[in-house]
Amino acid sequence: MKTPIIFGLIVISSLALTSCSDTTTSPTKIQTSTTPTPVATATPTSTDNSMAGMDHSKMDMWNGSMNMANGQTMDHMWASTEEEFIANMIPHHQEAVDTASIVVAKTQNAELKKIATEIVSAQKTEIELLNSWMKSWYPNSTLKVSYMQMMRDISKLSGHDLDDVFMEDMIKHHEWAVHMAEEVLEVSQRPEIVKMANDIIRSQNAEIAKFKELLENH
């Protein structure tokens, strides 16, 4: 009678062990990221050097803000190289000379006439220098400049209308010259250009301030 009892205990023990093994948990799985590690890529470098060294915050400020007489913008005019500065400044100065000459001949405002006379004299001299630099430094230049009129035709105006339109337009015209001068200073190594650019910034900022003062006192 003892043998069956022992056998029964062995069976029960075996079942108990089997039950315990069924409740054993599997090892914890290590979580791995499914997101691939970003691969660093180089930003392509433009092969176009015409925009090199430019302060693009200034470009954004000027794009669309400088309206010409025909309603277009002056975002085509840059001075990112010395050659561009020279080529663009020649027609820009010439427009100032032509317009200021009308004021010299017609205005009744003595103070404005004095400023216009100084503009004609200074910018004629600078045009001569710019032309000489272009011929000397870039004799084989293929740079094409498509200058568009920035100032309104004042030839048929007189009195306060003449003065006001001239000053309003010349403020914007001067601001653009200052902008180009600042741009070329960032890239120029030629002392002649550096001097002219600094002269433009100094003299034309002073004239801008004077024009604003005269307009406020009208």
Per residue in 188-206, pLDDT (tens digit) is 999 999 999 999 999 999 9
User: Which structural domain range is residue 183 located in?
Assistant: 79-216
- Name the least confident of 14-18, 66-70, 144-148, 174-178: 14-18
Say yes or no to pLDDT of 81 above 90.
Answer: yes
Share of the chain above pLDDT 90, in %: 61
Say yes or no to pLDDT of 3 above 90.
Answer: no
10, part of any domain = no
> Angle 176-179-185 (CA atoms, 0-180°, nearest 5)?
145
| In the block, residue with structure tokens 């006379």 | 117
Region 89-95: mean pLDDT is: 97
Question: What's the CA gap between 83 and 116, in Å, rounded?
Answer: 28
Task: Say how many domains are in the chain.
Answer: 1
- Name the least confident of 49-63, 71-85, 106-120, 141-155: 49-63
180, part of any domain = yes
Task: Provide the pLDDT for residue 78.
Answer: 74
Say yes or no to pLDDT of 13 above 80.
Answer: no
- Name the least confident of 65-69, 87-91, 113-117, 145-149: 65-69
Q: What's the token pair of residue 157? A: 């105006």
212, part of any domain = yes
Find the CATH number of the domain harbouring 172.
1.20.1260.10
CA end-to-end distance (rounded Å), the chain: 132
Task: Provide the pLDDT for residue 9.
Answer: 35
**71-75, 79-83, 145-149 — most confident range:** 79-83
122, part of any domain = yes
Contacts of 123 (CB under 8 A, 6+ apart): 93, 94, 96, 97, 100
100, part of any domain = yes
Report the 10 Å Cβ neighbour count for 170.
Answer: 23
- Name the least confident of 53-57, 112-116, 175-179: 53-57
Per the prediction, the chain carries an average pLDDT of 76
Task: Provide the pLDDT for residue 77.
Answer: 59
What is this structure's pTM?
Answer: 0.67
- Give pLDDT tens digits for 132-166: 999 999 999 999 888 889 999 999 999 999 999 99
Which one has a higher pLDDT value, 73 or 10? 73
89, part of any domain = yes
126, part of any domain = yes
Task: Provide the pLDDT for residue 7.
Answer: 36
158, part of any domain = yes
Say yes or no to pLDDT of 45 above 90.
Answer: no
